[in-house]
Structure formats: C-alpha cells, structure tokens
Amino acid sequence: MAGRPLARDVVARQRTSRLFSLGDRANPMSWAPAIIISDEDPELPISISPLSFRRDNSEFPSKLSMRTRANICYPFDGLDEWVASEGLVLPPSLEKSDSGSFGTGLNLLPVSWQSLHHDNSLSNESLEPSVVVLTDAPQLARNRYNLVEALDVIRRRFPSSLIWTPGISGPDNCHLLSWLGVDLFDLSRSRNASAAGVILSQSGPREPEQTLDEKSDIETQIEHWKSALSDLRQSIRTGTLRESVEKCIVSSPRSVERLRIHDSLMSRNIGNAGLSSVVDNNRRLRCNSPVSRDDPLIQDWRMRVSEEHTPPSHQNDILLLLPCSATKPYRLSPSHHRFLKNIRSNRIHQIMVTAPLGLVPRELEDLWPAAHYDIPVTGVWDEDEVSIIRHMVSRVVERIGYKEVINHSGMEISVNGTNVHDTRNGETAGSEESLGKLEEVTREILLSLGLRDVNQPEDRLSTMKSRSRFIHGTDEWLEGSVVSGRPPILTISKSGEQLARWNPRDARFALSKKCLPIIGESGSIPTAHIVEGHNWVGDLFPTNVERFEGDIRVGDEILVYQGGQMVGSARAVAPAWEWPKGPGRLARTRHRL
C-alpha cells in the first residue's frame, strides 16, 4: 500500500537538523523531530507523535507498516498507511556480501548498511520516500563509525525524507541524533529503562530519587521525552542546537565519539556540512567546551584564513597581531579604540589572535562567526590553542610574504625567517608603556620600509576587494569601482551606477540588479537553474528548481538562470545538501531582471 506522501515544510534549519511542520502548512497538525509509537506504547499527543508503526513477523521478509495519526497527507481528508517489506538484513560486518533481498517501499523505505552498499535501486532519482527507516541502526550503533556514515549517506541521498533509527534513541541522545540528521525517535529504550527500574533522562540513565517519590514507570519516561523534545525543537529554532548537543553528550563517551567522528567527516567534506555564511545579528556561537574546537564551522574558518584569504593589496608588507576582545566586532571595544589610535597607518594589516577561531583579520571581523562567538576567558592559553595559533601565523606569513611582524597579542610567537617585534614585553595590551612601544615600532618599520599611506578611496576599495575574495571567491566585479559614503555603511558604484552596499550589521554585500551580470561573469557565484517555461513569480522551491551549481551555504547570494539566461538572484535558506529536492523553500527571491 503506497499511501499518499507526507505533507511537510521546514520551519527552521541548523546544519543537517531541521524542524518540520507536518500537514497543512497554514495549520500544521504536528511537527518533527517527533516520536513514533507502537502497539506497546501508550497514546501520546499528536503534537509529539504523528505516526505509529507495526512490524509483522508472520511473513518473511517481515512486513512493516506505518500509519499517520492525523490528517497530515494532502488533501488532509483522512489517515494514511504505508506498507513496506523489510528485506533480508545481514549483519553490518558482512557489508561485502550481497543478499539480493533488500527492503522495498515507496513512502516508507527500509534501508540497511548492506543495501546502502549494494542496492542499485536507491540511486533511482524518482524515489522520494516520506520516511526512511535505518533498520539495522542498533547494530550500526555498536561501531563508532558506521552509524555516522550511514546517516550522512541517507540524509544527502533523501533530503526531503524524515529519517528514523529504531531502537537507539532516548532523551539523552535525541539532540545528537538530530544533529546527525535523524528526525524520528521511538520509546524502545525508555520501555527497557522502565522495566529495569531506571529513568532515562536527558543526562542519561539514573535511579529514581526516592526522597522525591520518583517512579520509573512509562509515564515518567514520557515526561522526560517531552522535556527533551521541547528543548530540541527550540534549539533548532534558535540556532543553538550545537551548544545543546555538547551539553547532552557529556554523560556518554560513545556520544562524544560520534560527534567527533561527524565533525571530522563534515570538515573533510565541508560542502555537505550545511554551514551558513550569514546569520541573524543576535545569533551566538558559544564555544564552552574543548569539543567546540572540532566544529566544522571553526575548522573551515581556520583553513580559509590560513590557506586562502589575502589581505588588502596595500597591506602585504607589515602584519600586526592584536589581542581579541569580549566585544564583537572588536573595533567597537574600548581596548581596540586605544590600539587604533596608536596605529597611524593604513599600510599595516591587523589580525586578531583569538580562540577558537585562531586568527581574525580586521577586514573580516564583521563576518559570521567572527562577530558572533563567545568563549570562556581564563587569561591563560592552553597548549592546543597556542599550537593552532602559532601554526596559523606561520602559514599566513609564509603565504602572504610579510616583511615584518609586530606582535602585540601577548602570546610568544616566532616565525622562521621573519622579524617579530614584541611590543608588550610582559605588559598589558592597553598599558601606556605597551601602547607607546606599539606606536614607536610601527613608525620605525614604516620608515625603514619607506611605506606611505594610500589615499582613502584606494584603502576602502582594496578592503572591499579583500572581503569579496573571502565571501564570493572573486573581486573582479569591483574593478574600476568607487567606494563612497559614511562608515559603517558604504556604497560601491561604477560609472555613476550603484553596484552594491556594504552594511557591517548584515555582513554581506547587498548586490544591485546592475551588479548581477557583472559578478556573474566571474563564475564564482552559486547558480540555480529554474525549469524552462516556468513562470517564476515566487521564491525558489524544489518544484521550480531544475539544478544548481556551486557550494551553497545558507545566506549565500545565488544567481538565477532560466533557459541559459540570467533572470535574477535569490538568497539561500537551505544549504547545498538539500538542493534541488529538499522540502520547503530553498531560497528567497531578491532581484528579478
């Protein structure tokens, strides 16, 4: 029984985790992440449990059926049931064996470690199930790598589907599983915990507290599930899921392992990590534990600054290392006001030394995550932080070729073959002695190199080019342009016509219609191609997007083409791994030509 597909829309996203509304978009009946119940479970509210499941072992292979508990399939006039065959599921250790009997289904699709390796039907692009069931999830969970790898493959192959990993979820790991891409959970572990007389809580299994008359019955277990689901959904809405994951995994070494493995996998395949280039101004990246340093977002920043970013063209000779500040962006802090008063030249490239990002060039301080991170400050660097920063400094100096380095950061730094001038000598960064030394050293180096300031128009344009290279991978569109206006908001024009505006609060270039064909010539901007003959009047959805090109991050500017002609631009609300078939809106239209 095929049934009708699940009606779903994405309410909020963070990396590979999503909050779905289920049913009529205008009046949803339920949401996911959610719980699937079985015949063994008590009734739960539709808002947290929109689906029920049954496994019939009387046949071989086993028959699986899933039923909606509310009218959440278009046209929302009744309940639906999906039936599938489980197939022959071999142990994950036999991944090289091909049983030839794989799970089959349309809206309910069972997959296993073996079928992911051998079932060619999974590559059929017309296969878009409502729910994908990873049938051997408990077996995969015993291996520190297999579960993470399987979920990564499933999530990218079926971007519009809800994923269920039966038998392994609980209030203690639902945040982590959601971070890995899982949308649906069940009460199996909670039933086992109840039978064993323990409570499965968000912090892991524990004994009931007798002084509070706690019980371990299934009703108590469900209350812990409700609390965990509420926190999970809210974390996705507010973009704080990473922080919640790091908080929840500390009770389980295996969960810590899985997060680190997932971080490593995403850092190696950064296009699949679901990163954002722009976020709301009130978003914060809270790095409160050592595992935060493994976040692919942080790894990506370090790599791009160390290996790719180039400073404004007139700042290639002198590098100045400065300490960071609690205030972001740094230039708004009192300490950096004092630094800037004593740096009397625009020929000096300023880079802030900080953890966990390592280095933040001055021209990038408004960007995500540089303008949004928080980290506990003790005043003492640990060995890992020192090693990362020293390596980044050495790599940047080697690649750019600075002639002199001025170190006002307070960290002891040396670079082979390059003079490093320490202007602190044990003093605080803002003391009169160190600030005087900073001014003296910068003046002497500028004189020795014979460097004079460039004029303001050249300084501004060169800075914009440097930002554009980091954001868009090109600065060709800025050739021959003029930067005007009163900081912090600046206007970029060419031949009297506006190309873009720069507002540090937005941390991106607001491109004009005039600019789109010019920047499109570079071939560096992601593109979306809409279906020929389609009357494009709204945003970009999977129904009107035929294909895309480029590494799309949430917030990226995308050039829109139809029939080979540029027809406008949009801003991505979904990352590349969801394109072009992910559910809901993919990008919001900005310009139509």
Within 8 A by CB and 6+ apart from 542, the residues are 160, 580, 581, 582, 583, 586
The class that CATH gives domain 456-592 is alpha beta
Of 63, 70, 76, 91, which Cα lies nearest the Cα of 25?
A: 76
For residues 384 and 289, give the distance between their C-alpha atoms in angstroms, rounded to a whole number: 13
Vertex 293 angle, CA 292 and 294, to 5°? 90
Same fold, 285-449 and 456-592: no
pLDDT of residue 97: 74
> Are 396 and 315 spatial neighbours (Cβ–Cβ below 8 Å)?
no
Type of residue numbered 439: E
User: Over 80: is that where the pLDDT of 379 sits?
Assistant: no
Q: Can you read off the two tokens belonging to residue 154?
A: 């499933």
Confidence bin at 93 (pLDDT 50/70/90): confident
In the chain, domain spans:
8-88+101-268, 285-449, 456-592
**Helix (H) / strand (E) containing 155:** helix 146-157
pLDDT tens-digit map of 398-442: 999 999 999 999 999 999 999 999 999 889 999 999 999 999 999
pLDDT of residue 288: 85
User: Over 70: is that where the pLDDT of 1 sits?
Assistant: no
The class that CATH gives domain 285-449 is alpha beta
Peptide bond into 91 cis (omega under 30): no
Within 8 A by CB and 6+ apart from 541, the residues are 584, 585, 586
User: Over 70: is that where the pLDDT of 335 sits?
Assistant: yes
Provide mean pLDDT across the span 279-292: 89
User: Over 90: is that where the pLDDT of 381 sits?
Assistant: no
pLDDT of residue 101: 82
User: Over 90: is that where the pLDDT of 103 sits?
Assistant: no
User: Over 90: is that where the pLDDT of 32 sits?
Assistant: yes
Provide mean pLDDT across the span 567-590: 95
Confidence bin at 470 (pLDDT 50/70/90): very high
Q: Can you read off the two tokens belonging to residue 297?
A: 């977002």
pLDDT tens-digit map of 305-319: 999 999 999 999 999
CB burial of 47-57 (b: ≥16 within 10 Å; e: otherwise) equals: ebbbbbbeeee
Least confident of 51-60, 127-136, 448-457, 475-484: 51-60
- pLDDT, averaged across the chain: 94
